[in-house]
Structures are given as structure tokens and as C-alpha cells.
């Protein structure tokens, strides 16, 4: 059995810690970090390149006498530990179960665990209990009965260790060696010689000083975070793509139509603007109807292009290399609090989106565009499309293309378009006839005549090819001037002084 162990840190410093068979590895870590001047909450042990369980004793760890333990740096992010607190029989008379289970971060103290479980935080249909402010009457001769109330301290037993004092109850799960997995703690109570009112004052003063020190460290950390946030916001300002709800409420959600553009000339007078009458679709919703292309050949294939646009340059190679270097670096995994904050931020971002623009493409390549609010559902979208059809009774299906491919939009269930289906910005929805649709509906006209008459062609701007590329080539030719004969374009082609042989000048 090990009578001492040798702890070696990353800088090859060594300390010898005397041990007993019943000594816990977490206590050995505390002593070693005190001697080395390190923080034990951020370090752990490795033996033969295998991490050691700090909650075990020397007897159960299997270490030999004089074993060399490597002190390694652990993650600073707390991990989740499932805690089961077994209550005494006096607390649960006639109950089916005597255990309270809850998940806590590894940096949670035992006192905070008791306070959380007794105040019923994060648990439903469970009565509140009293674990930390109990009193029991006791007479001066030691017998129980009607007398002065004395403080009844909670006693926790875990892995053969008994924790009863305020100092012991202030230890965290990580300090006891529990950084992951499940843990069972047994709770009991012990009557002390301290009156209840004096014990409550002592508890308030002790934990007030402890919380004050933690609050000071938190204040320093939050101040540094605010300064780093200000610096990052100063270096890279972020432009919000979607307006905030309060700003849209002030503006009254008054948006100008996209087809109307107003420009002011130098004289300050407005030119006359001719507005086409808006097209009103089903449910008096403003829509835009676009006609099918007149040619079977895609317009993009008819556009002229430059062959040099498809040739990778040295800039592309550098960007690709920088991305490979960035992906090869180790990245810290997100903890539970960061994942919950990210999910909450996504929910807030989705809640801030007020409308989405949906383009419905029909089998005859005609398109209908309209805007939907965050209150519209999939049923509203189906009713809108059905109101545009000539054959409204024919069955059809709508699908949207996402990261996982085409996904059908449910007909039933009234799923929100933005919050439920995750639609943002501009979304393309494809119209598909179902198997039960008739041949007349598949071959004939899809949209009603009043919508087909208002259809307009999609404007495609012509792209000018060759202007910018020629200018860039001229600029690159000017930057790379030819080197005259007899002169070298670099200074590294000569023979260095240290390479010259002796005897030659």
C-alpha cells in the first residue's frame, strides 16, 4: 500500500505527499497544489497516461508505494454531475422513494445543493423541505422535550467520507473528485450544542463572507468581459439584419413596397412616380406574379462569361490554407450553460423576425411572391395557394428545400412558418401535384386568369464581361515590373559569409 506518492507538474517540479490507505486522492491533489502554488480546481492526476478518479482512496486506486503522479491541467468549464440525495426515514414517512435527483455543475458546493433541493428549484410536484435551518428542542440534562432549540446540522456521507462542518459543506463536487457521472449522497442530521439563533447568525456571517469573495471575483470577470466586448464591438461592428420588435413598434411596421423607388435630384424636387396598381391575392394579401420563361434554355447559360473567373489564384490558395489551419486547431467543446445560452439566443432571434417572403413556384414555372407574418401557419399557406388555383379541389403538396433536402410542409397541425418551420428571409416553395390529381389539372392552366393577366417577366440584368478583369491585369503588370539584366530581384541568391571557404576573399 502506498505510504507516499510523488507529484510531478508540467515544469518537472516534484513534491512528495505522505499518504495513508484511507486518504482520498482529492486531498492529495489539494496538498500538492498548495505546495506548488497552483489552483486545485483546474488540475487533475494521471498515472501511466490514464486519468485517476479523485473520489477514490489510495487503497482503491491501486497505486504502489512511491508512485509518480502527473499533474495535468483540466478544462476550466464545469461539467454536469447527476446527484441523488437519499433522505432519512423521518423526512419521507410512507413515501415510495426517499431520493431526490437533480443535475448540478461540478463547481457547485454541497451547501448550495442542499439549498437547491430543499427549496424545490427545478423540480415539480415536490413539497419544500428544510435541510439547512433545522432546530431540535433539548433540555440542559441532555433529555429531549420542551426546551431550548439547538441547531441540527446536516451531515452528508459520500464514498465513506462524512461532511458536517461549514467548511466541509462549502466544498464543491469537483474538489471532492466528482467531475462527471452519477453520485449518491446520504443525508442525516445531528443535534449540536449551539443554539438555533446563534447558529443562524453564524451561518449568515460565514456564507456572506464566502459569497462576497465569490461576487468580487465574478465582478472582476464580468468587468473584463465587458471590456473585451467593447473592444470587439469597436473593432468589428455588427449590423442587424432584422429590426428589433421595439423599433418596429415605433415605426408602426410601415414598409414601402419594393416596386416603388423614390430618388431626390440635386435640385431638391421629386420626379413623378408612376405606380402600378398592386395585385391582390387570396385573403386580400398583396402579391407579385411572374410569368414563365419564354425559352426552354436557361438564361444563365446564354450569358457570356470569362474563362479566367474559374481559374484559382494565389489568393484563393491562401484562403484555403488558412481555413485548413483553422480547422486543424483543437477547439474547446461548449458546456451545458453555453449550449443553453446558444439555444436561447436562437429562440430570441427567431422571435425577432416579424415576416418572411415566400415564393411559390408552380409546375408551369409561373411564380407567385407574397409576404407572411410570424403569426401565419402552414394551414394559412395552403389556403393561400389553393385560392390561386383554377382547380381548387385537386390535391397538391408544398415542399421546401433545406439543409437535409426537400422537406414537405405539413398540411395539418397549424405549424408556424417562422417559429416552427424555421423560415427566414426569402424562401422558395415548390408546388407538386399529388397522385390523386386529375390529368386536366396537371396539363391545363394552374393559376386563375386574373392572376395570369397581371404576370410580368423577371428582369435579368446583363453582366459586363472583361472590364474589371483587364483593369486588374494592368494593375498587376504595373506592380510586377521586369527585372533588368545583371541585377537580381532577391537578395538571397548570393553566397552567405558563413558559407565561404577559408583562404578565399
Q: What is the pLDDT along the chain (505 residues), one digit of tens a residue?
A: 458 889 998 888 889 989 888 888 888 988 899 998 888 888 888 888 888 888 888 888 888 888 899 888 887 778 888 998 888 887 776 666 778 888 888 888 888 888 888 876 555 556 678 888 888 887 665 555 556 788 888 899 888 888 888 888 888 888 888 888 888 989 888 888 888 888 888 887 766 555 554 544 444 344 444 444 444 444 333 334 444 444 443 344 444 444 333 333 444 444 444 455 667 878 788 888 988 887 777 777 777 777 787 788 899 999 999 999 988 888 888 888 899 999 888 888 888 888 899 999 998 888 999 999 888 888 889 999 989 998 888 899 999 887 778 888 888 878 888 888 888 888 999 999 988 888 888 888 888 888 888 888 887 776 665 555 555 555 544 554 554 544 444 445 556 666 555 655 5
- As separate numbers, helices (DSSP H) first and strands (DSSP E) second, the chain gives 13, 18
Residues 6+ apart with CB under 8 A from 336: 80, 105
* Residues 6+ positions from 377 with CB-CB distance below 8 Å: 414, 415, 416, 417, 420
Helix, strand, coil shares of the chain as percentages rounded to 5?
30, 25, 45
Q: CA–CA separation, 42 vs 330, rounded Å?
A: 19
Q: Is the pTM of this model over 0.85?
A: no
Sequence-distant (6+) residues with CB within 8 A of 387 are 281, 282, 283
Q: Which three cell numbers mark 433?
A: 401535384
Gap between the Cα atoms of 419 and 414, Å rounded: 11
Amino acid at each position: 500500500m502506498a505510504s507516499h506518492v510523488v507529484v510531478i507538474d508540467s515544469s518537472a517540479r516534484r513534491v512528495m505527499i505522505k499518504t495513508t490507505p484511507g486518504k482520498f486522492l482529492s486531498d492529495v491533489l489539494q496538498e500538492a497544489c498548495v505546495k506548488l502554488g497552483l489552483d486545485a480546481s483546474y488540475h487533475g492526476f494521471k498515472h501511466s497516461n490514464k486519468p485517476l478518479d479523485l473520489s477514490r482512496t489510495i487503497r482503491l486506486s491501486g497505486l504502489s508505494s512511491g508512485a509518480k503522479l502527473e499533474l495535468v491541467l483540466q478544462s476550466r468549464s464545469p461539467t454536469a454531475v447527476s446527484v441523488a440525495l437519499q433522505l432519512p426515514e423521518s423526512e419521507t414517512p410512507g413515501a415510495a422513494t426517499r431520493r431526490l435527483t437533480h443535475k448540478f455543475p461540478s463547481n457547485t458546493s454541497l451547501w448550495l445543493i442542499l439549498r437547491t433541493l430543499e427549496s424545490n428549484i427545478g423540480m415539480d410536484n415536490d413539497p419544500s423541505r428544510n435541510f439547512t435551518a433545522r432546530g431540535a428542542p433539548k433540555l440542559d440534562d441532555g433529555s429531549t422535550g420542551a426546551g431550548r432549540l439547538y441547531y441540527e446540522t446536516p451531515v452528508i456521507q459520500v464514498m465513506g467520507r462524512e461532511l458536517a462542518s461549514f467548511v466541509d459543506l462549502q466544498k464543491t463536487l469537483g474538489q471532492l473528485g466528482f467531475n462527471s457521472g452519477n453520485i449518491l449522497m446520504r443525508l442525516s442530521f445531528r443535534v449540536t450544542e449551539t443554539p438555533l439563533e446563534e447558529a443562524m447568525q453564524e451561518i449568515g456571517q460565514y456564507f456572506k463572507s464566502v459569497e462576497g469573495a465569490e461576487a468580487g471575483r465574478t465582478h472582476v470577470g464580468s468587468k473584463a468581459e465587458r471590456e473585451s466586448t467593447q473592444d470587439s464591438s469597436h473593432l468589428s461592428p455588427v449590423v442587424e439584419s432584422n429590426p428589433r420588435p421595439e423599433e418596429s413598434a415605433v415605426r408602426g411596421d410601415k414598409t414601402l413596397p419594393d416596386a416603388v423607388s423614390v430618388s431626390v435630384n440635386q435640385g431638391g424636387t421629386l420626379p413623378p412616380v408612376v405606380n402600378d396598381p398592386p395585385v391582390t391575392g387570396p385573403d386580400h394579401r398583396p402579391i407579385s406574379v411572374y410569368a414563365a420563361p419564354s425559352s426552354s434554355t436557361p438564361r444563365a447559360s446564354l450569358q457570356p462569361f470569362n474563362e479566367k473567373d474559374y481559374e484559382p489564384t494565389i489568393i484563393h490558395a491562401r484562403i484555403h490554407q488558412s481555413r485548413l489551419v483553422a480547422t486543424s486547431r483543437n477547439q474547446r467543446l461548449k458546456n451545458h450553460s453555453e449550449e443553453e445560452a446558444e439555444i436561447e439566443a436562437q429562440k430570441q432571434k427567431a422571435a425577432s423576425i416579424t415576416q418572411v417572403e415566400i415564393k411559390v413556384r408552380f409546375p408551369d414555372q409561373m411564380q407567385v411572391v407574397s409576404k407572411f407574418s410570424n403569426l401565419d401557419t402552414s394551414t394559412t399557406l395552403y389556403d393561400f395557394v389553393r385560392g390561386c388555383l383554377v382547380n381548387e379541389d385537386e390535391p397538391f403538396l408544398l415542399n421546401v428545400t433545406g439543409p437535409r433536402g426537400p422537406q414537405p410542409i405539413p398540411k395539418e397541425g397549424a405549424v408556424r412558418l417562422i417559429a416552427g418551420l424555421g423560415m427566414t428571409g426569402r424562401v422558395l416553395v415548390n408546388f407538386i401535384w399529388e397522385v390523386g390529381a386529375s390529368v386536366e389539372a396537371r396539363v391545363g392552366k394552374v393559376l386563375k386568369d386574373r392572376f395570369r393577366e397581371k404576370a410580368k417577366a423577371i428582369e435579368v440584368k446583363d453582366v459586363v464581361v472583361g472590364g474589371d478583369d483587364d483593369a486588374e491585369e494592368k494593375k498587376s503588370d504595373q506592380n510586377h515590373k521586369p527585372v533588368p539584366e545583371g541585377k537580381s530581384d532577391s537578395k538571397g541568391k548570393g553566397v552567405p559569409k558563413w558559407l565561404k571557404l577559408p583562404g578565399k576573399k
